[in-house]
Amino acid sequence: MSLDRASAPALDEAAGMLRELSVARQVFALYQAGHPKREEAVIDLLASVRRLDQLVRGSVVLFIGRKGFYLGPTLLPRASLTYHGLLEAFEEAGIEAVELLPAADAEELSVFVSILCREADANGHLSGIRINSVRPIRDADEESGPMKELLRSYASGVQFLQETAQRVAAGRPTTMEQAERITARLAEQVVADPAQALLLTTVKSYDEYTYYHMVNVCILSIAIGQAIGLRRDQVVVLGAGGLLHDLGKVKVPKEILQQPGPLDEEQWRIVQRHPVDGVGLLLSSTRDLYHPALSMVLEHHAAYDRTGYPPLSGQRMPSLPARIVAVADCFDALTSRRQYRKAEERRQALAILQAAAGRGYDPRIVRTFVRLLGLFPVGSLVRLTSGEVGLVVRNHETKPARPVVRMVLDPRGDPLDAGEQREIDLSERAADGRHPRSVERSLDPRDFDLDMLSLLSTGQLEPTEHDDGVGLMHEPAYGEQPPPGYVDAHDELAVREATG
């Protein structure tokens, strides 16, 4: 056993092992003992355990505590956020530490998964898996504060979407009520601190692109809804629609969602069925044919000028909630890496939205969203006149060029430790009346290998996780150059209308 800091490949594989363990737990919950699906899930888990064993010195030691997973002493922030349900299963089973020995085999891993599903006793003897035999990491610093609470709600959203996808795959209905409970909690947190919530939407995932995207769209939609003065109950339903807006993509074949190269026309047509498929899935779980979330799922690609898909009957434009979700959806997609394009800097993404206002997007919603994010959008990296690099954490109400920034790099470009990262209000003046610092220019986050989740959850500047994913499968925005093979539903509709 070794408690040294693990290598980057080991940390990546540990996250992969937790992914396989999370999938196995969900499969065990859906299928009875002896089902082939259970055996397949355990085999995948065992393969990941074997790979991880080759990358660490000594045995694999996993700690569970302080609302996170640790490989030895090293926090796995993204896995802790993404596999929130698995984390809760460990806590409910009273498991704080797990040591995986080379003797661990498929049979013992199957028993271990059963323990997490409360089908077996954690006190049973396993020769290759030691439970709570290693002293867990303890720290007097309990996880608390607005960002920690937001991260937990975010994790609940990701967990809900993961479990929903598993339920759909098993032919079981989804649950609208749970989505509304999650968004009710998020709405309260966004009201309490909108800037912190907007900052959280900078978090992306290379393994769970679609789920993180859906939670980000939920948060952005809630923020817009509150900015335009919707009632609390309307905001909660708006958030639920944002959370579920891409639900139909669970029916898109994985080989399309994970295809590294360009899609062909037929594949794009399959992707463009996701709004209709999403409504079909929701109708299986709610008897309310007029539930507002249905319009958001169906119409978020219909476009403000009605040239999108699916075509709407008559002269009706998309509903207001759908137009809000469309803006949030586009912004988060633009700032994510897509299969065919690098992520845009947040300020550039706003410029693309503004250029398409009146065509693809409601111009009033776009204006509100631009004001909400500010001249230097929350979550942007900026270089200051002092040479330091800061992260925009909130905007000034009357001085948009002077946001509050958290210092992350010193003038030499060296990372600042968590204790050195100060928040600086650029609107404050020195004794002589001058501003000591000003924003010199926006920076492209791709030029800085910073993991936003690690920064927000621990304050530490860590390199981004190994990116072996293909990116988010998403439409190009209005005005963007479409990728090769793209089926432009907007042009096809214009031709149909012109030819009568």
What's the pLDDT tens digit per position in 307-362?
899 988 876 889 999 999 999 999 999 999 888 888 888 889 999 999 999 999 99
Average pLDDT (462-485) is 77
Read off the pLDDT band of 498 (50, 70, 90): very low
Give the whole-number percent of the chain exceeding pLDDT 70.
90
User: Are 238 and 331 within one domain?
Assistant: yes
Check: CB of residue 390 under 8 Å from CB of residue 384.
yes
- N- to C-terminal Cα distance for the chain? 73
Domain assignment of residue 111, yes or no: yes
- Residue ending a domain, among 373, 398, 418, is 373
User: What pLDDT, on a 0 to 100 scale, did the predictor assign at position 173?
Assistant: 75
CB atoms within 10 A of CB 362: 22
Residue 407 is given by DSSP the state E
User: Are 114 and 155 within one domain?
Assistant: no
Query: Cis bond leading into 310, ω under 30°?
Result: yes
Domain assignment of residue 466, yes or no: no
pLDDT in tens, 171-180: 777 777 888 8
Instruction: Please give the residue range of the domain that contains residue 298.
Output: 146-373
Domain assignment of residue 194, yes or no: yes
Domain assignment of residue 335, yes or no: yes
Average pLDDT (411-433) is 88
- Residue ending a domain, among 373, 407, 427, is 373
d(CA 275, CA 53): 43
User: Are 121 and 162 within one domain?
Assistant: no
* 3-class DSSP state of 484: coil
Best CA proximity match to 292, nearest among 214, 227, 235: 235
Domain assignment of residue 275, yes or no: yes
**Residue 467 CB partners (closer than 8 Å, separation 6+):** 206, 337
Number of separate domains in the chain: 3
Domain assignment of residue 292, yes or no: yes
- Residue ending a domain, among 96, 131, 166, is 131
User: Are 226 and 157 within one domain?
Assistant: yes
**Alpha helices of 228-299 — where are they, by DSSP H?**
232-244, 254-257, 265-271, 274-283, 292-299
d(CA 128, CA 322): 52
Domain assignment of residue 169, yes or no: yes
pLDDT in tens, 254-275: 889 888 878 899 999 999 999 9
User: What pLDDT, on a 0 to 100 scale, did the predictor assign at position 98?
Assistant: 92
CATH number of the domain that residue 183 is part of = 1.10.3210.10
Read off the pLDDT band of 467 (50, 70, 90): low
- Hey, what are 268's tokens? 């794009």
User: Are 325 and 248 within one domain?
Assistant: yes
User: Are 355 and 252 within one domain?
Assistant: yes
User: Are 368 and 398 within one domain?
Assistant: no
